[in-house]
Structure 1
Amino acid sequence: MENRPTIMVTNDDGIDGAGLQALVQVLVSTNRYQVFVCAPESERSAFSHSITWQHPLQVKQVEIQGATAFAVSGTPADCASLGISKALFPVVPDLVISGINKGSNCGYHIVYSGTVAGAREAFFQGLPSISISYDWVGGKSTVNDFKLSAEACLPIINAILVEIKSKTYPQKCFLNVDLPTDVLNHKGYKLTKQGKSIIKMGWKKITSEAQVGKILSTMTMEADTSNIDMNATKVSQGSQNNLLYMREIVGVQVGEIDTDYSSLQEGYITVSPLSALTHVETDCEAYFKMWLPGVTERFSASAL
């Protein structure tokens, strides 16, 4: 059994997150993999690719049946970096999986996502990686959907490991996988690309803690708030000089058809190859190619 491939799991919902727990349970139950877990000790959603730099991380071993697991005081990127470094585990994993996130990660949300950052950090270090998210909708989704999502991803996970073993797996990208709300009746895998969908957020000035609950209760469009820590949103009224503002959802930008978000809403399991490099729109590149050579000349002329 020592020859089993090694998978390291991380996430941004925290090591107790239902998505991570279901994923690890499914991976362990196959008896095909050695499973490591290195995940944040608590919620770290929307931390993007932030890292801890100026103070040490606290690491505590925790019990997850069938896996070797550690809870870390840092961010998802911290956890991925530590978990693949051989400082924590005896071997470098063959594959890193970040998830399963409670909520989809499509379009511009990929930039905010700590889940995607966990996979991206492994990619930075040259390791194959996947980020996995489930399109949780309050009132429709149940915890069992995480288990179904993990099972639906097993063919992808196994196929990647086969390619890794044969040294034919591409090294210039990592995969972002999103599973539809009705995962039991999904339409199959669909190769997609990152679109421009985003939940548009505004700011609302508030005057008291009582307003926090009212605002959160309205945040239902394309978002689930059942995992929001109400204690973290309490407002201090210790000073009358403080101005208090809180984010609120003001709309949704869907983006183009045939991209990750639209395909997910159609019921597909979307598989989007991602890179760490930013590719600008062709028209922007053409514009600045013409614009840049004349910058100095225009500046000199305006100074006269």
Structure 2
Amino acid sequence: MIPKTNPRILLTNDDGVHARGLKVLEAIARELSNDVWIVAPALEQSGAGRSLSLHAPLRIRQFDEKRFSVSGTPTDAVLIGVQDLVKGKKPDIILSGVNRGQNIAEDVTFSGTVAGAMQGMQLGIPSVALSQAYGFKKDDPIEWDTAQTFGAPILRRLFDLKWPEDVLININFPDAKVEDVTEVEVTRQGRRDQHILHGERRVDPRGEDYYWLAFKGLLSNPPEGVDLRAIYEGKISVTPLHMDLTHGETLGKLKRMLGGVPPRS
């Protein structure tokens, strides 16, 4: 169980060490503890997922006693932070975020924010990913106050819960002002019925084609109880995630069809 009094907290993100969301996360963490460490990527790593920097050295920059950047991915940052940069005892909890944008449904599979928490979980440390949704209200600013207002109270409640070692908690704050947030809903990971990621073909000044990946602003029609629906309805979504991607029903069918001596023709 996470200590209620002054836990050691390690912060990371995928938007980079100077991102606004990391400042929001630091404010949240300092409501809970004065033993706060930051080890974050030097540059934005959105969409990096669980990638590792296996073919380049990692460079560390130290800003103060407990604040570092790593020239790599969120996974790199958490690994090096826990292994070497956080001195003395290891962190009691790892917080990743606050991401600029929601990490819900299939987004979690390529999210660097979720990956940072996943690496913490793999190292045996309770870990939480936090994201602030935006873009649902045209041209409105990102509602960082929503994450900052509700972040620490929700985390305090989580500190009372000992969740399984192979589970991370994924929190998404809705694109809504503080006074318009209706409730916290514990949700399942959803799945969109719209394909929103696309590559837009463009032409550079030399006449060569290139592609810019982007998301289309299309809403799905998700069922009740999933993260997508909660965010659409202005609720805070809290989802327990784990690494076991095995599909149980298909596993049983495959065992019946393929189990035993391998076929030769």
- TM-score, normalised to structure 1, is 0.76
Q: Higher helix fraction: Structure 1 or Structure 2?
A: 1
8 Å Cα contact 1:108-1:196 kept in structure 2 = yes
Match for residue 255 of structure 2? Answer: 289
Q: Partner residue of 2:19?
A: 17
Partner of 2:186: 191
* Per-residue Cα deviation, 1:197-233 (whole angstroms, up to 9, x for no partner): 2652233443325xxxxxxxxxxxxxxxxxxxxxxxx
* 1:285 Cα deviation from its structure 2 partner: 2.9
CA-to-aligned-CA distance 1:113-139 (integer Å, 9 cap, x gap): 000000000000110000000102262
* Deviation of 1:62 (Å): 2.0
Output the CA distance in 1 between the equivalents of 2:146 and 2:212.
Answer: 35
Q: Which amino acid aligns with 2:59?
A: Q
Code of the aligned partner of 1:58:
R
Aligned-pair distance for 1:84? 1.5
1:124 and 2:122 matched: yes
Q: CA deviation at 1:244?
A: 2.7
The aligned residue for residue 95 of structure 2 is: 97
1:246 Cα deviation (Å)? 3.3
8 Å CA contact retained: 1:23, 1:146: no
- In the other structure, the counterpart of 2:170 is 176
Give, in angstroms, the shift of residue 293 of structure 1.
Answer: 4.3
Return 5+ residue gaps in structure 1 as ranges. 210-236
The 5 Å alignment of 1:28-107 reads 28=30, 30=31, 32-62=33-63, 68-85=66-83, 87-90=84-87, 91-107=89-105
Unaligned runs of 5+ in 2: none
**Cα distance in structure 2, aligned partners of 1:254 and 1:51:** 35
Q: Which has the higher mean CA deviation after the structures are superposed, 285-294 or 90-99?
A: 285-294
RMSD between aligned residues: 2.5
Partner Cα distance (1:243, 1:290) in 2: 49
In structure 2, what residue type is equivalent to 1:207? V
C-alpha distance in 2, partners of 1:160/1:272?
A: 12
Instruction: Report what 2:242 is aligned to.
Output: 275
SS in 2 for 1:261: helix
Q: How many residues align?
A: 255
Shift of 1:80: 1.1
Aligned residue runs from structure 1 range 107-118, under 5 A: 107-118=105-116
The 5 A counterparts of 1:115-154 are: 115-137=113-135, 139-142=139-142, 145-154=143-152
Q: Deviations over 1:260-280 (max 9, x none)?
A: 111111111110001111131
| Residues 262, 24 of structure 1: alpha-carbon distance in 2 compared, 3 angstrom cutoff | same
Change over 3 Å in CA distance of 1:59–1:263 after alignment to 2:
same
3-state SS in 2 of match to 1:123:
helix
One-letter amino acid of the counterpart of residue 119, structure 2: E
Distance in 2, matches of 1:183 and 1:93, equals 32
- Aligned pair 1:203/2:199, yes or no? yes
* Cα pair 1:11 1:114 within 8 Å, conserved: yes
The SS at the match of 1:131 is strand
The structure-2 alpha-carbon separation of the partners of 1:81 and 1:147, relative to structure 1 and needing over 3 Å to count, comes to: farther
After TM superposition, give the deviation of residue 160 of structure 1 in Å. Answer: 3.1
Tell me the secondary structure at the aligned position of residue 84 of structure 1.
helix
1:273 aligns to what SS in structure 2?
strand
* Larger radius of gyration between Structure 1 and Structure 2: 1
